[in-house]
Homo-oligomer: A and B are copies of this chain.
């Protein structure tokens, strides 16, 4: 197999044995890792197709890899696979300013695509912390989310067309460039978010948006959960299309930041039950900042918001976001962590926060439970530190958190996917009929089960 693969790529296209670096062995999440047979690094769709044809004939398993920044082990080899890394397929192929599209290969790093678009007055809206390593193919395969979903949707909504190589090597080129195209089934959705189990995405066409001309960022403190819900509704009805982010942090997270993250500077006083970080993306720099201040003043007058601050400089804006995103030093100080990415109807979030805190605290007295997330999207993250990081502890806390999610009709994975990490809990959020249909699709598109086996289900 290795020798046959060697014929299909150039001299630096195949890695074996000790040449296989750490980056191919595990993802950022805590998924299990095994030793792959080898790593192939194709440079074109034709090479990907040839590799899959060969593997298909021999029933050889294949795991596709992007930037390896996923958090559920989706890209990690479990043992014996051919790792197919898209890292050398990193060309931006076409930019169309009139049609506002970008066509690029899967291995392009998200940040490189951002910079390319930014220089031309456009934006690819998907943004997340791992932008410096996550690849376009990776964020498509996981249907990534991030901090601007309330305005621009998940990755899925920014993909107009794509090319995927199927299990048997068939190249399915569907590089649609139009917002409207109802000529037959919309096949791209099979490959978006299916974590490399139905095909390997090699190229895609992205919908770009004009770059906003002004960004305004604010922090607000609120006394009650229902105020955060009403505040979101108020912002949506007054700011409409301008609201780009609405991130909520429970009071316990604010306390944690103040105690454990000396480099962070929360802009408001301590003691609020909830903090909201919000951002508007506007097109009228002369007006947008003042308009946001006016809207916040009205929200205070209405009694929705107890305290608020608007960033007055790019530096302050970065400091606001750092409170939300850069608590790494504090997390490290907490010891072993269990982290969650879940979604639920917005009205259930207050209940969820209370129950998750109480239930983990009951099982592990003295536990630290932090809740925060993209409230506008129904997406919360939970970080629990109970002093132990054993698999048994993980499982016990998983059972608690996902059990509450099941009760609330939520999802065990809002934006990270299932991978290996959440496989056991898929049925908490999906019905037997749904899972049966997923398996039916898997058998149809990958009858030999060679694509990323052991992931999702």
Interface residues of A (CB under 8 A from B): 96-101, 121, 142-143, 145, 149-151, 153-154, 156-157, 166, 170-174, 176-187, 189-190, 192-194, 198, 209-213, 229, 233, 236-242, 281-284, 287, 291, 343-347, 374, 376-379, 409-418, 422, 426, 429-431, 433-438, 440-441, 444-445, 456-457
Interface centre among A189, A344, A416 (most CB of B within 10 A): A189
Instruction: State how many angstroms separate the Cβ of A17 from the closest Cβ of chain B.
Output: 35
> Looking at the complex, which one of B150, B170, B180, B229 makes contact with A379 (CB distance below 8 Å)?
B180
Given A180-B374, A343-B178, A379-B179, CB of A240 within 8 Å of CB of B283: yes
26 A-B contacts (beta carbon < 8 Å):
A98-B229, A99-B345, A101-B345, A150-B179, A154-B179, A170-B433, A173-B433, A174-B430, A176-B411, A177-B378, A178-B343, A178-B411, A179-B377, A180-B343, A180-B415, A182-B413, A182-B415, A183-B430, A184-B418, A184-B456, A185-B438, A185-B441, A186-B189, A210-B233, A211-B237, A241-B241
Extra inter-chain contacts (9) besides given A154-B179, A178-B343, A184-B430, CB under 8 Å: A98-B347, A157-B157, A170-B433, A177-B345, A178-B378, A179-B379, A182-B193, A183-B422, A186-B189
Contact A435 B181, beta carbon cutoff 8 Å: no
- Residues in B whose Cβ lies below 8 Å from that of A343: 178-181
Report the nearest B residue to A238, measured CB to CB: B283
- Residues in B whose Cβ lies below 8 Å from that of A179: 149-150, 153-154, 343, 376-379
- Residues in B whose Cβ lies below 8 Å from that of A281: 240-241
Q: State the CA gap A438–B145 with chains docked (Å).
A: 28
Contact B98 A174, beta carbon cutoff 8 Å: no
> Looking at the complex, which one of B157, B198, B411, B456 makes contact with A181 (CB distance below 8 Å)?
B411
Q: How many copies does the complex hold?
A: 2
- Residues in B whose Cβ lies below 8 Å from that of A444: 440-441, 444
- Residues in B whose Cβ lies below 8 Å from that of A377: 178-180
> Looking at the complex, which one of B174, B186, B242, B434 makes contact with A172 (CB distance below 8 Å)?
B434
Contact A184 B241, beta carbon cutoff 8 Å: no
Report the nearest B residue to A291, measured CB to CB: B284
Contact B236 A210, beta carbon cutoff 8 Å: yes
- Residues in B whose Cβ lies below 8 Å from that of A96: 345, 347
- Residues in B whose Cβ lies below 8 Å from that of A416: 182
- Residues in B whose Cβ lies below 8 Å from that of A284: 238, 291
- Residues in B whose Cβ lies below 8 Å from that of A236: 100, 209-210
Q: State the CA gap A170–B119 with chains docked (Å).
A: 51
Contact B194 A180, beta carbon cutoff 8 Å: no
- Residues in B whose Cβ lies below 8 Å from that of A413: 181-183
Report the nearest B residue to A349, measured CB to CB: B98
Q: State the CA gap A237–B418 with chains docked (Å).
A: 38
Contact A177 B409, beta carbon cutoff 8 Å: yes
Interface centre among A177, A239, A422 (most CB of B within 10 A): A177
Q: State the CA gap A180–B242 with chains docked (Å).
A: 20
Q: State the CA gap A42–B401 with chains docked (Å).
A: 40
- Ranked nearest first, the 9 interchain pairs of A and B with the lowest CB-CB distance are A241-B241, A189-B189, A178-B378, A180-B414, A178-B343, A240-B283, A179-B377, A98-B347, A181-B411
Given A180-B378, A237-B213, CB of A433 within 8 Å of CB of B186: no
> Looking at the complex, which one of B185, B412, B426 makes contact with A193 (CB distance below 8 Å)?
B185
Q: State the CA gap A171–B432 with chains docked (Å).
A: 10
Instruction: State how many angstroms separate the Cβ of A198 from the closest Cβ of chain B.
Output: 8
Given A238-B283, A240-B242, CB of A182 within 8 Å of CB of B347: no
Given A237-B283, A242-B240, A378-B99, CB of A411 within 8 Å of CB of B182: yes
